[in-house]
Amino acid sequence: MDKQKVSLVSLGCPKNLVDAEVMLGHLPTDRFEIITDESKADIIIVNTCSFIQDAKEESVETILEVADYKKTGRCRLLVVSGCLPQRYREELLRELPEVDLFMGTGDAARIVELLDAHVPGQAPRHEVGLPDFLYDHTTPRVKSSPFYSTYVKIADGCSNHCSYCIIPQLRGTLRSRSIDSLVSEVRTLTAEGVKEINLIAQDITAYGRDREDGASLEDLLRALVKIEDLQWLRLLYAYPDAIGPELIELMASEEKICNYLDIPLQHIDDTILKKMNRRVDEQTIRALLARVRQRIPDVTLRTSFIVGFPGETEEQFAALLSFVNEGHFERVGVFRYSREEGTAAAALEEQIPERVKKSRYQKLMKAQSRVSFRKNRALVGRIEPVLVEGVSEETDLLLRGRSIRQAPDVDGQVYITAGQAEIGAIVPLRITDSSEYDLIGEICQDETAGEA
């Protein structure tokens, strides 16, 4: 019997990508073959995101696009999984008759069972369970990221209940993995050649709060840095109120932990932060940034902000713009507020017009581009460790990579104009030029990173 060819499209965040990899891992290789060409796939799976309106629109557009392969390709079974079905159960059955099977965020391990239950010609099925699944080190997973770098989800779900956020309804409450499970997974990954581990969760600083064994993020990091083959350990999505002296000291003292911290702040105005149900205020944020910079002077900080939150005045936006212009962050992501049904913020009065949101978005991004350019220019002449990722997409005459200051998928890259290295190697590179988001440099030998 020929193997069924399966193609999976994963949308949204790295957490979604891990879910997709787990789903593929549950497909037995004697029955299924994973391919990337949807036109040749018997089964197409679209793993969706529905965090904000733009993500929902992208998900629906992608579903409709690949649905054409039921007419023009080999596809006989179209599956939609993840956040969109978890959120819009009945609506999708009515609006997307092209789809044969809908699965939720907690159903990855059921993929074969659900595929086997499909009867050709039957009405679309909605098999969305509770969002309570949590993978561990024994869970099969097909890694789709480069061999030298991957994401490891240390927890799933969220109990923060920010007023604008739908995640608790999509992912459930916080569920943390054990330290032993995470150490085992990372040890296996690094033994297979992974050099960079990116720790992810909806909020990594909440890690362990739900566990009875007293585990904490700091305990986890102390265990992970002992893994011999691990070289870079990166922390993403850290809630600001839980970044304490112990975590900062660990980052400063442990060489394997990248001097890189992603701290989603969302705003700087106290009134807006309170309406967002964030547990910090401007004074707390400024004190945190000062502590981090003082103890880790060479740290790279990333954050995200929301513009156009209900009731955001011109004065409050001006305060946020001024804060960004102060230059606290090397990287900033900006989102236009999305009014999501089922959230507390959706019921707030004084919703901001889209044209105002767009204008504020553009102003904030422009301000940060100037900050980023200035900070990148300050790196010229320095020697930085760079992870070589392959040939540049611009020209096959150049290699490309990422500095230790650049997280995968969200930050810029480094163009390597001189020197040779294998893909996956971490090499010293002298920065010779820069732009707002990218760096340019030459590989150098026998020199110490950080030197000017």
Pick the range with the lowest mean pLDDT from 121-135, 197-211, 322-336, 400-414: 121-135
Question: If you average pLDDT over each of 50-54, 73-77, 189-193, which comes out highest?
Answer: 189-193
pLDDT grade for 252, boundaries at 50, 70 and 90? very high
Average pLDDT, stretch 138-142?
92
Q: Which CATH number is correct for 4-127, 3.40.50.1440, 3.40.50.12160, 3.40.1160.10, 3.40.50.1970? A: 3.40.50.12160
Query: Is 49 part of any known ligand binding site?
Result: yes
Res. 452: pLDDT tops 80: no
Intervals of CATH 3.30.750.210 along the chain? 145-262
End-to-end CA distance of the chain: 62
Average pLDDT, stretch 53-81?
86
What residue has token string 């086997």?
Answer: 116
Q: Tens digit of pLDDT for each residue in 321-379?
A: 999 999 999 999 999 999 988 899 999 989 999 999 999 999 999 999 999 999 999 99
Q: Tens digit of pLDDT for each residue in 148-187?
A: 999 999 999 998 889 999 888 888 899 999 999 999 999 9
pLDDT recorded at residue 191: 95
Pick the range with the lowest mean pLDDT from 54-68, 215-229, 277-291: 54-68
User: Rounded distance, CA 183 to CA 136, Å?
Assistant: 10
Pick the range with the lowest mean pLDDT from 109-123, 195-209, 214-228, 346-360: 109-123
Intervals of CATH 2.40.50.140 along the chain? 383-443
Please tell me which residue, 392 or 325, carries the higher pLDDT value.
Answer: 325
Res. 316: pLDDT tops 90: yes
Res. 55: pLDDT tops 80: no
Contact 168, 157 (CB under 8 A): yes
pTM of the model: 0.92
Average pLDDT, stretch 230-252?
95
DSSP-assigned beta bridge partners for residue 387? 402, 426
pLDDT recorded at residue 396: 66
Write 110-114 long-range contacts (CB < 8 A, 24+): 111/23, 111/26, 111/27, 112/26, 112/27, 112/28, 114/79
Contact 201, 175 (CB under 8 A): no
pLDDT grade for 9, boundaries at 50, 70 and 90? confident
Average pLDDT, stretch 76-98?
85
Pairing of strands 414-418, 439-443: parallel
Q: What CATH architecture applies to the domain 145-262?
A: 2-Layer Sandwich (3.30)
Res. 1: pLDDT tops 80: no
Pairing of strands 426-434, 439-443: antiparallel
Query: Is 83 part of any known ligand binding site?
Result: yes
Intervals of CATH 3.30.750.200 along the chain? 271-277+293-337+344-378
The average confidence (pLDDT) of the chain is 91
Pairing of strands 257-262, 232-235: parallel
Contact 319, 269 (CB under 8 A): yes
Intervals of CATH 3.40.50.12160 along the chain? 4-127
Query: Is 258 part of any known ligand binding site?
Result: no
pLDDT recorded at residue 330: 95
E strand map for 182-283: 196-200, 232-235, 257-262
CATH topology for the 271-277+293-337+344-378 domain: Transcription Regulator spoIIAA (3.30.750)
For residue 213, count CB atoms less than 10 angstroms from its CB and return exposed for 0-12, middle for 13-18, buried for 19 or more. exposed
Average pLDDT, stretch 125-138?
85
Q: Tens digit of pLDDT for each residue in 283-312?
A: 999 999 999 999 999 999 999 999 999 999
Question: What CATH number has the domain spanning 383-443?
Answer: 2.40.50.140
Contact 170, 83 (CB under 8 A): yes
Query: Is 13 part of any known ligand binding site?
Result: yes
